[in-house]
Structure 1
Amino acid sequence: MRHNNAYWLSAFCAIALAGCSEPQLQVPVYPVVEDTLVHKINADGELFAVNSVSINAPKTVQGPRFIASLAKEYSEVQPGDVVVTFDATQLLRSKVKASSGLGAVVADEQQKLAEQQNEQTAIGLDQTLNGHEFSFADRFSIDDVQIRSRLEILDSMQNKEYLGDKRDYLGWQEQSFSQRSNGELELLQLQRNQQQSLLQQAESGLAALEIRSPHQGILLFEANWRGEKPEVGGMVFPGARIGSIPDLSLQHIKLQVIEQEAIGLAAGQKVTFALTAWPDDNLTGEVVSVAAVAQSRERRDPRKFIEVVVAPTRQDPRFMPGNKVRAELWVDETDNVLMIPLQAIFSDQQQLYVYKHDGTRFIRQPIEIGKKSLSHAQISRGLQAGDQIALINPER
């Protein structure tokens, strides 16, 4: 009885130990076959209008302007419709101020001209009188001591010399007056031009209080760096972009492709896409351009993206600028090639190889690859159809 109990105890322990042992690892294999290598890239983007008229605040006015009214965003506008109206209060004040300043400058100019004319007349009269006195003194100057005393002769000579100095002084005064009067008039002319320029700016601003749509389209407003869009009462600076009116008759797609996946992209490649609002309705297009430089999309996102522009094969009535799109870019499609998954390819010292199944074991098989997609690669040398390779490293 004790012997039987010992037997069953040993058998139970053997079974328990067998259950605790590790199972043999099974290496998944992949059969090498000929198939079609398709290189497709998935990307997201949005529609945009090729032709779009920008709405900007007029540049004819210095300083900010204030919005008095706005048409509804995303509303359809017709040619000539008013989309933005600016407040005229500040412009009217500027016009009144410029008009008053211009009137004051014109009055100062007229007063200055009258003062200069009076001063010039006075200088002319002094010069005429001095000329008569000098001529009289020179004509009746007698230096004969038998007729006039020496004191009278000296007094006459001094008077003549004084009149000559006075004539020179009046000539200098006339020249100085001419220079001074020209400078004063030029200064007043500058002030007058300045006030006229301010008046013209105010009048131009009043004439541009309304921005009208040049063609049929949809009204879109531009968000500033804070993400805020224009609103009534908001302040805008001259030349600032307020929005745009895209032409809905011609729209393209702007896609963002991750830089590492953008290998092989080129103009002319086929594109299939669908609007996110209608995911089951597949449409087609063609790559128009591929950006040469990758750019970051968000500050905290380390990835960089290549911008790809796609032209749809036909324009759809559902197209609207800003609509989101999911697309597939068909970079390449090659029939009847040996292809294997990229995960089965390993490298060592710049040599590519796979683990080829050879009866009961796996051996390293050097290979050379050709074209690649995001998941598979073409085998140009090293394998044949029917070979089996490991999908993971069997040595590990």
Structure 2
Amino acid sequence: MTAPTRRLLGVLFTAILALGCGSDAQTTTMTIPVELKPFRIVVRADGTFTAAKSTPLNADPNAGRTAILSLTPEGRMVDQDEVVIVLDGSKMTSELNMQEFALEEGAVKVASMRLTASKEKDNLDHTLAMLERELDFTERFARRDPEQFSRMDRETDEADLTLLRYKLAHNRTKKARHDKKLQASVAAQEARLSFSRTRTERLKKQLASLEIHAPHSGTFFHERKWRGTIGVGDTVFPGMKLANIPDLSSMVVDAYVLESEASGIEEGTAVEISAAASPDLLLTGTVLSINPFAEQRSRNDPTKYFRVRVGFEKPDVAWIKPMGEVKVRFLVADIAAALAVPNQALFSEAGETWVYRRVGGRFEKQIVQLGQRGPNRTIILEGLTAGDHIATAQPTEGELE
């Protein structure tokens, strides 16, 4: 392209801008006409199909920390009672073996204690019987009559009686202590056995729960986490949600709208849904609910989104599948004719909003009342009429009335 041609094109382009924007010889600030035009606000977002109702598959809340040993592939149809997840039970098996050994060892100890105690009791009973007979004999034949027996004989027999009574009392006390000691020892061992029995039964139940069965037939899906879906080898905590089987009759769409673009979306807002891979596949629906707080979708992405749940008519189409990706369009506004101006033409301060309307060769400040605001344009309810021209930027001091 030659230099004269470029200069000619530049002049033509400047002339077209001057005509289209309504500038005149007295102002340099560009203007636009205010016209009745269709006003439409469409907010776009990505989303996925999900089931509003699903059956969760959780780890046993009473089991300890473990890991995933095997996992049914995601998206596969499973049958009722089919094993879909197997958790590692090696630690539980080792502990169960220890507890069962403790039960056997404890039972032997209790039996041994009872046998030893029985022998000791027999010996004490025999000793007590002998002492009682000896005391009875000594009391009956003790030399007490001072006229018949000497003082030494009487004192000797009395000393023998005192000793026998002491021995008898001592052995009775020993027997009572022995019985109490036996009861305490057996009770302590029985308590340990009871703990081992309880722990053994619990471990057996926990080991049985490591095989997670499908409660009913359906499509099997893994649980989502910050780093993606769960997988073999992942750590599992008590009660942790691992997977779910969705109710396909309750499908909805979860769309994720940028925090800065969610204004105007509310319950009942009309929605268009299309398959991410095939835009021609369309569904219509409405907004069911909006999450009150914006959240990150990924740990590595600080951008925040509002999760918006969308309901739709559920035709019998094959592409409606859990976790299927879709494109969502929220029809926030669709007005056939409205006075709307570019957002950059609006100025605000102290609760007032105005535009600069061209009057003759200058601009005057015109207070306006705003209606619905979109990403690029805002509806004017009062203050302007069709045919007015307004500045698209702040006029210079010399251009103002």
| Other-structure match for 1:361 | 362
For 1:249, what is the secondary structure of its paired residue?
A: helix
- Alignment correspondent of 2:216: 215
Contact 1:230 / 1:242 at 8 angstroms: preserved in 2? no
Residue type matched to 1:79 in 2? Q
- Any idea what the Cα deviations from partners look like across 1:120-147, whole Å, max 9, x if unmatched? 3333333333333333333333332222
Q: Conserved in 2, the CA contact under 8 Å of 1:267 and 1:287?
A: yes
- Measured after TM superposition, the shift of residue 225 of structure 1 is 5.6
Residue identity matched to 1:308? V
Q: CA deviation at 1:36?
A: 4.8
1:319 aligns with 2:359: no
How far the C-alpha of 1:299 sits from its partner, in A, is 4.6
Aligned counterparts of 2:252 and 2:68: Cα–Cα separation in 1: 34
| C-alpha spacing 1:235/1:355, structure 2 compared with 1 (3 Å) | closer
Number of the residue aligned with 1:193? 194
Shift of 1:35: 4.3
Residue pair 2:42, 2:329 contacting (<8 A) in 1 also: yes
**Equivalent residue, structure 1, for 2:18:** none
What amino acid maps onto 1:123 in structure 2? Answer: L
The residue number in structure 2 matching 1:125 is: 126
Give me the whole-angstrom Cα distance separating, in 1, the residues matched to 2:303 and 2:356.
33
* Aligned partner of residue 289 in structure 2, secondary structure: strand
- In structure 2, how many angstroms separate the alpha carbons of the residues matched to 1:328 and 1:44? 9
Tell me the residue number matched to 1:375: 376
CA shift, 1:288, in A, is: 1.4
State, as a whole percentage, how many aligned pairs show the same letter. 26
Shift in alpha-carbon separation, 1:60–1:377, aligned structure 2, 3 A: closer
Against the structure 1 CA distance between its residues 174 and 88, is the aligned structure 2 distance closer, same or farther, given a 3 Å change threshold? same
Structure 1 residues 79 and 292: CA distance shift in structure 2, 3 A: same
**Residues 159-190 of structure 1: per-residue CA shift (max 9 Å, x gap):** 22223323332333233223322221122112
- Structure 1 partner of 2:281: 281
Q: In structure 1, how many angstroms separate the alpha carbons of the residues matched to 2:281 and 2:246?
A: 25
Shift of 1:207: 3.5
Q: Report the Cα offset of residue 302 of structure 1.
A: 4.5
Q: Is 2:68–2:85's contact at 8 Å kept on the other side of the alignment?
A: no
CA apart distance, 1:346: 1.0
Distance 1:123 1:79, change over 3 A: same
Q: Give 3-state SS (helix, strand or coil) of 1:54's partner.
A: strand
Q: Which amino acid aligns with 1:245?
A: I
2:251 pairs with 1:256:
no
Q: Aligned partners of 2:87 and 2:218: how far apart in 1?
A: 22
- Corresponding residue number in structure 2 for 1:269: 269
* Aligned counterparts, 1:338-349, within 5 A: 338-349=339-350
User: Structure 1 residues 92 and 291, CA, compared in 2 at 3 Å: closer, same or farther?
Assistant: closer
Instruction: Give the Å deviation of 1:37.
Output: 4.0
Aligned match for 2:54, one of 35, 52, 63 = 52
Corresponding residue of 1:5: none
After TM superposition, give the deviation of residue 318 of structure 1 in Å: 0.7
Equivalence for 1:7: none
Q: Please, what TM-score do these two structures have when normalized by structure 1? A: 0.82
- Distance between the aligned counterparts of 1:301 and 1:177, measured in 2? 74
TM-score (norm 2): 0.81
Change in CA separation of 1:244 and 1:260 when aligned onto 2, cut-off 3 Å: same
Equivalent in the alignment of 1:3: none
Q: Distance in 2 between matches of 1:226 and 1:306?
A: 20
* Equivalence for 2:153: 152
**C-alpha distance after superposition, 1:270-326 (max 9, x if no partner):** 211212111122211121111122223345644432221111222542122222222
User: 2:127 & 2:37 partners in 1: Cα distance?
Assistant: 115
Give the count of matched residue pairs.
374
Q: Please give the residue correspondences for 1:1-396 in structure 2 after superposition, counting only pairs within 5 Å.
A: 27-59=29-61, 61-62=63-64, 64=66, 67=69, 69-86=70-87, 93-208=94-209, 210-222=211-223, 227=228, 229-231=230-232, 236-299=236-299, 301-315=301-315, 316-333=317-334, 336-395=337-396
Distance 2:93 2:372 in 1: 70
State the superposition RMSD in angstroms: 3.1
Q: Which secondary structure state, in structure 2, belongs to the residue aligned with residue 254 of structure 1?
A: strand
Q: Which amino acid aligns with 1:259?
A: E
TM-superposed deviation, 1:267:
2.0
Query: Retained in 2: the 8 A contact 1:272–1:283?
Result: yes
Alignment gaps of 5+ in structure 2: 1-10, 16-24
* Maintained 8 Å contact 1:286/1:313: no
